[in-house]
Amino acid sequence: MSNSKESQPEVVQLCFENINGSCIQTPYSPGPRVILYLDFSSGVLLAVLGNLLVMISILHFKQLHSPANFLIASLACADFLVGATVMPFSMVRSVESCWYFGESFCKLHSSFDMSFCYSSIFHLCFISIDRYIAVTDPLGYPTKFTLPVSGICITFSWLLTITFSFSLLYTGVNDDGLEELVSALTCVGGCQIAMNQTWVLVDFFLFFIPTLVMVTLYCKIFLVAKQQARKIESMNSKTESSSESYKARVSKRERKAAKTLGIAGIAFLISWFPYFIESIIDAFLGFIIPTYIFEILVWFTYYNSAVNPLIYAFFYPWFRRAIKMIVTGKVFRGHSSTTYLFSEQIKVLDKEQS
């Protein structure tokens, strides 16, 4: 009897038990499943609530209405949409190893995923250009990077990426030449988008070129920032006028903003680079990399959407003050939108009141 039991095949679990051609399900045991849901859910909440706080802060407080901050708010919008429209469904797919939301929504979900990814990298690229001008030419900056220029950058970042992503996936050119592979792997309850070698390379260069611009500009920014810091130190040792002191404070603030946004750019690069490398390797080696590695790298990229608000909260005192006012409900008071948030202005007001 024991031998006959040992010879019985294991029961295969399917995503849809009563549907022919259903994908095979490889579920986690209850313990790991609960841990994964809690982990992924925390990432979703952080991406949604954190980026919502960034957008509310910049849009509510008039002092934060600047071309650079509108770019940051638009970037936060892209990260917010990742948390609200992409991560929850990917969470179910990753934990349950099945896609329960239909083939049509699979394509829409993948299009959203790709659109918001490229939108983020183009936003970060334009933000690096903004910081470069602000640090290297502080006097000419207000006339060079204006609200209309910021609006053009935001519009370009959204329109180009959405048009490209939806056109690519809805025309089906992404899997040209992979028809046999796609047919063999297609099953009910799966949601994996195949990319042929040509479009994988196009995707990579759409990621790599803005990233290269961003890295190059931030390297130049930090070199200029060092030179400016030395000049300010030499000025501090001499008698300086109040206007020179104000310029020094503004210059310091611009450099700090550049440093903070540079860290956000580096975090994006670290999060997304392994995913694009895996995509290229997989496409050129015949899609042999296991699905679980893909899922790990995808979630690594998703968590980037939750990281940026933490970076702002850690490095920006004005953001912490804005969060405190939003959470405590002070934003609903009259004239709260005119509240001063920058440290130097708060110190001046305190001196005047004392």
Confidence (pTM):
0.86
Tens of pLDDT, residue by residue over 30-69, are 999 999 999 999 999 999 999 999 999 999 999 999 999 9
Q: Per the structure block, which two tokens stand in for 206?
A: 């759409």
Distance CA 24, CA 8 (A): 19
Residue 321 has pLDDT above 60, yes or no: yes
What crossing angle do the helices spanning 304-315 and 317-327 adopt, rounded to 10°?
100
For residue 70, what are the contacts with CB-CB under 8 A and spacing of at least 6? 58, 147, 150, 151, 154
CB 271 within 8 A of CB 303: yes
337 and 62 in contact (C-beta within 8 Å)? yes
Q: Quick one: pLDDT at residue 277?
A: 92
Arch. (CATH architecture) of 21-327: Up-down Bundle (1.20)
Domain residue ranges of the chain, discontinuous segments joined by + = 21-327
- The three-point CA angle 226-128-167 to 5° equals 160
* pLDDT tens digits for range 1-30: 445 445 445 678 899 988 888 999 988 899
Query: What 8-state DSSP symbol labels residue 328?
Result: T
Q: How far apart are CA 52 and CA 205, in angstroms?
A: 30
Residue 354 has pLDDT above 50, yes or no: no
Lowest mean pLDDT among 72-76, 92-96, 184-188, 226-230: 226-230
In the numeric block, which tokens belong to residue 132? Answer: 């470069």
**Residue 229, pLDDT above cutoff 70:** no
Residue 238 DSSP class: S
What is the pLDDT averaged over residues 343-348? 52
Amino acid sitting at position 148 = P
**Which two tokens mark 345?**
């202005």
What are the phi and psi torsion angles at 172 (to 5°)? 80, 10
pLDDT of residue 234: 67
Cβ distance 171 to 163 under 8 Å?
no
Average pLDDT along the chain:
86
Whole-angstrom distance, CA of residue 238 vs CA of residue 33: 64
Give residue 5's pLDDT.
Answer: 47
Range in 51-65, 138-152, 224-238, 295-309 with the lowest mean pLDDT: 224-238
Give the C-alpha separation, 227 to 290, whole Å.
Answer: 49
What is the structure's pLDDT at 237? 56
- Is-contact 311 79, C-beta < 8 A? no
Burial class for 118, CB neighbours closer than 10 Å (0-12, 13-18, 19+): buried
At residue 290, does pLDDT exceed 90?
no
